[in-house]
Chains A and B, each alone.
Chain A
Amino acid sequence: MTSYRLLTPPDEKEEVYPYRRVWGSAVVESAILFGVTAVIYVAIQFIGLSLPDILIQPVNILLALLPALLWLIFSVWRERAATEPRRRLVVVAVITALAANAIAIPFVENVLQPERWLSLAGAVNRIVGYTFTFAVVQEILKYIVVRYLAWDDEYRVRLDSVAYTLASAIGYATVLNLNFVLANTITPDIAAMHVVDTVVVNFIGSMIVAYGLAEVRFDNPNPFLLTSMIALAALVNGVVIPFRAGLVNAGFSVDGSTPNLLFGLGLSAGSLIIVGVIVSFLFNAAERRAREAAREV
C-alpha cells in the first residue's frame, strides 16, 4: 500500500467586503418572487388547485406582503451579517409606505384621476398621461424619502443608493399591493401576478433614480442628471404600464377571447432584466471611473 502526502497551497488572504451585495439580494428576491408566482399560476391554472374561500383573502394578503418579506430576509436580515450594515433600510421602506398610502396614492386617485380621463385616450396620450400622473408621483415620492432619510448620512458607497431606493420601492409597492388585494376578490394566481407587476414597476423606477442619486452623491455630474433620471424613471413606468395593459388586453372576438396574463408577466420580467442590466452597467462604469480617478490621484 502506497501512502501519499497531500500538499495544500498556502491560504490566500481573503479580503472582506463590508457591505451587503445589493444586486445579489435583488436578483434572489426577484427570482423567488417570479418563481412563487409561476408555481401558483401553474397550480391554479393547469393543475386546478382551488383554495377554500376563507383562505383566499389571507393568502392574497400574504402574497402582497411577500416582496416585503423576501426583502426583509434577503436584504435586511443579511445586512446584519455585513460589517457595515445599512441602518435605515427599514425606516426608508416604512416611511415610503406611509407617505404613499397617505399622500401619493390618494393624490393620484382623487386629484389626478388618470382612470377617469385616460380610458378613451390614444396610445401616445396614454403614455404621456401615465408618465405625468401615476408614474411621476410614485418616483418623486420615493426620491424625496430617500433623499431626506438616507442620501445625506447613509450613502457611503454607490450601491447604497440602489439598496435604499429598492427599500423605498418595496414600501411603495407593498402599499399598492395591499390596497389591491383588499379591494378585489381575486384568485391567488391573479394576485401573485399583480404583485410581481407592481414590484417590477417600482424596482425599475427606483433603480434608475438610484443611479441619479448615486451620481449626485459621489460624482459631480451635470445638475440636470438627477432630474433626468427621475423623468426617465417616470417615462419608463409610463411606457411599461400601458404597454403591459395592451399586451394583456384580450381584444374582441365573437368566439370569445381571454386575457394574455402571461404576456404581462413576461414583459415585467423582460423590463426588469433590461433595466437592471443597464443600471448595473452604469453603476459599474461609474465605479470604474471613480477607481481610475482615485488611481490618478
Chain B
Amino acid sequence: MAIIEVAPRPSGLSARQRWSHYFALIYAVIAIFVGLNLRDSALNATIPYVNSSAGIRAYYPLNWLLDVSGSYVFRVRDMSQRGFKTTIEVDVQPVTINTTARNLLDSLTLNRSRTLSAYNVLATDPYTLSGDRQATAMTYVFVASETNPFLESLPIVVEGLDVITIQSGQAIIITFLSDERSYEENLPIFQRFLDDLEF
C-alpha cells in the first residue's frame, strides 16, 4: 500500500528555506573562488634558485626541470607540458663598455638564424625590470622540430622573449620560450619570474 503525500504549494519561502538557498549560492561562490585559488597556488608555486658565482637569485615554477649543465647559468623547463616544453633560461655574458643591448640582440639574432628554422624577430621594445632597471625586450618566433630523425614529430611554432640588461660589465639575458598557442597563457609565469629575479 502506498501513501500519497502531496505537499501544499508553498505560499512563500520560509526563512530556513530562503537561507538554505542563500547558503548554497554563497557556497557556490566560495567553492569557485577556492578552485581558482587552488589553481593559482599550483600554477604560481615557485622554488628558489641561487647561483652565488653568477650573482643570481631567482624563483622558478615548482615542478619545472632545473638544468645547469648547459652553456647557460640555468634553465628550467615545464616537462609536463605537451609538445614544446615552456622554458625559462638565464645566461650571463661578458661585455665591454661599448657593448649595447642592441649589439647583443643582433648577435643573438645572427646566431639563432643559423640554427633555428624560420627564425624571425617580431619586435624590440624597452622593458622595465623590477627596481626600475631598464632593459630591452625582443620578441621572436621560430619553428622547433624534434632532433631525433627516427621519430615522427610535427614542427612547433615557438614564440620567444629575450629580456636583456647590462650591468657591472656583464649582460644578463633572460629568455622565455613557449609554444606560440600557449604563449599568452604562459607569459605571466615569466613575468612573475622577472619580478622575483635578483642579480
Contacts and interface: CB of A to CB of B under 8 A. Distances in A.
Interface of A: 15, 17-18, 111-114, 116-121, 125, 128-129, 132-133, 136-137, 140, 143-144, 147, 152-153, 155-158, 212, 216-218, 220-227, 230-231, 234, 287, 290-291, 294
Name the 7 nearest CB pairs between A and B, nearest first: A117-B42, A223-B19, A132-B35, A136-B31, A226-B20, A140-B28, A227-B23
Contacts of B4: 17-18, 157
B114 interface: no
B20 A140 contact: no
A129 B38 contact: yes
Interface in B23-58: 23-24, 26-28, 31-32, 34-36, 38-39, 42-43
B148 to A, nearest CB: 21
B76 to A, nearest CB: 14
26 contacts: A15-B2, A18-B4, A120-B63, A120-B80, A129-B38, A132-B31, A133-B35, A133-B39, A136-B35, A137-B32, A140-B32, A155-B7, A156-B6, A157-B4, A216-B21, A218-B7, A223-B19, A223-B20, A223-B23, A224-B20, A224-B23, A226-B20, A226-B21, A226-B23, A226-B24, A290-B5
B36 A111 contact: yes
B182 to A, nearest CB: 9
A112 B1 CA distance: 50
B7 A156 contact: yes
Nearest to A14: B1
Interface string B3-20: 111110110001011011
Contact of B16 (A18, A119, A136, A220): A220
Contacts of A220: 14, 16
A119 B39 CA distance: 12
Given A17-B4, A155-B7, A231 B39 contact: no
Contacts of B35: 112, 129, 132-133, 136-137
Interface residues of B, number: 32
Given A132-B34, A223-B23, 20 more contacts: A17-B4, A112-B32, A112-B35, A112-B39, A116-B43, A117-B43, A120-B63, A120-B80, A132-B35, A133-B35, A155-B7, A157-B5, A157-B6, A216-B16, A221-B16, A224-B20, A227-B26, A227-B27, A290-B5, A291-B5
Nearest to A132: B35
Contacts of B34: 132
Given A132-B31, A132-B34, A137-B32, A15 B23 contact: no
Nearest to A215: B20
Nearest to B41: A117
Nearest to B45: A117
Contacts of B36: 111-112
A258 to B, nearest CB: 22
A85 to B, nearest CB: 14
A133 B20 contact: no
Nearest to A157: B5
B28 to A, nearest CB: 4
A158 B10 CA distance: 14
B93 to A, nearest CB: 33
Nearest to A287: B5
A246 to B, nearest CB: 18
Nearest to B28: A140
A17 B24 contact: no
Nearest to A153: B9
B119 to A, nearest CB: 28
Contact of B17 (A128, A144, A216): A216
Contacts of A218: 7
Given A15-B1, A17-B4, A133 B38 contact: yes
Interface string B117-143: 000000000000000000000000000
Contact of A225 (B7, B20, B28, B43): B20
B115 to A, nearest CB: 30
Given A136-B32, A157-B7, A230-B27, A147 B42 contact: no
A217 B17 contact: yes
